[in-house]
Structure 1
Amino acid sequence: MSAGALIEEWRAYLANNRRRSPHTVRAYASAAERLVAAAGLADWAAVARTEAQHLRSHLAARRAEGLGNASAARELSALKAFIAFARQQSGDPDPAPPRLRGPRIKKGLPRPVTPDEAINLADGVDSLAADDWIGARDRAVLLLMYGSGLRIAEALSLTGRDAVLGDVLQVTGKGGKQRVVPILPVTRAAVADYVRLCAWPISANAPLFRGAKGGPLSPGMVQKAMAQARRALGLPDTATPHALRHSFATHLLSAGADLRSLQELLGHASLGSTQIYTRVDAASLLENYRKAHPRG
């Protein structure tokens, strides 16, 4: 078996058996490809013999290339999964991956934008766009992220079947997990405006949001439009499309939403991923206290 065949089989397993997202499949396949190339591995038995010290050396080389802590931790996770799969494929009675602890990662606080800033950004991408339909498109995407907590990939995965929105929308998130999110009237109206103005026909099986030449809209184009609006409004570099999803979560928590409900709305696999927003809200409360208290 060739190294390329190993990677293709691994990619197919992730996509078809584990139903991982395309982004995860690409990242895990790339990590495996680097290990296979560096160690000269050509079959599943060879991959299965990879031990903790081999992984440690490989990751040390990657760190020397400038890989940060968070990226190194993700790569280690991908390689452990790859080796566990190899051990299954080779009939190893102990398919567990090598025991190796990843680098400690300090979790930073998400930096949400205020409700006014979120609306101003959505209006800004609209007013700064070269064409009316492109401005309406970008505004609709940003409002889906802010108003419904969608990831940018989830918003761009919508098809023509979603063109007429109701009060709720079913979306497919990471790992193929489905959830139902609320749709605000302003978001529903924004999507309807885009559909009315779109320069390309909206068909049921095609992407709802289209690029200037009619193909699927890329995340990079949304990020570029928001960066332009962010500069025009004098907002910091942290005001990214993903910050709108953070804002959705933080504002709901401030309004009294419980963590379990927030977990469902965000599509987090574990409550731990959602709990970071309690730190965001606490930080906001402390900042307001310091500004308001006479001894602050």
Structure 2
Amino acid sequence: MSSCPFSSATQSSAAQGERIVQEEKAQLDFDGRMSYGDYLQLDAILSAQKPLSPDHNEMLFIVQHQTSELWMKLMLHELQAAIHNIATDELPDAFKKLARVSKIMEQLVHAWDVLATMTPPEYSAIRPYLAQSSGFQSWQYRCIEFSMGNKNAAMLQPHAHRPDLSAIVQAAYEAPSLYDECLRLLKRRGLNVPEGHTQRDWRQPYPASEAVENAWLEVYRDPKQHWDLYQLGEELTDLEDAFRLWRFRHVTTVERVIGFKRGTGGTGGVSYLRKMLDTVLFPEIWTLRTQL
């Protein structure tokens, strides 16, 4: 009787499989070398969730905000580097970083979808344990706002109790914003940007200008001549578009979860967040479109 034609093939396959398993075991023997958890500091990160209430849903609330702060850390890292790139005429590098910041904003927008699964009774169960803590006190978010041009001296106060963090926020408040550096770049390229928009008190809110709109219009009316500046304008548009979506999802999630109660930090809650929807970071980038 002839042997099964598949027997030798099966044995060969089994032997090969065993060999692969042994090779994998050898590779998995780290022999005391740095591990995945060591590199990412996972012990510290995964032990940082310490609910104060007995409610099951507080873990969602903590993880949501901790991961948002991690994304904001990366956003600041990229945003500050992009501002430096623009100040030093390294536009390709700036474009890469600004595109990444917009993608990070998309992640933050979708994060609200998870928090929105928390119902009003579930939030009410943990709210007394939050005391006066509030996202309003996020120093990283404040640095992002300042770096993108939304300067407001009153927003320095929530961080005054931490001199180390207050100094970082103060530095962002006093520095030229992303848009300030973009306008200085336009000026260096020979476009007619008023001196008052390239040499001014960077702590003051940005004043929209017809002359600045005309400078951007010159770029947008001849994209081939000003291709990198045109691309810069579109990167700014993408970024503010994503920021607007984040703000909108923020206000709708807060209204869904707490209604019109005041925020834990003492703000008006939804009423305050709705006012923020009207903030325009790069005004001429939007108004020029009507003139094209």
TM-score (norm 1): 0.21
Bigger share in helix: 2
Higher RCO (C-alpha under 8 Å, 6+ residues apart): 2
Larger Rg: 2
TM-score (norm 2): 0.22
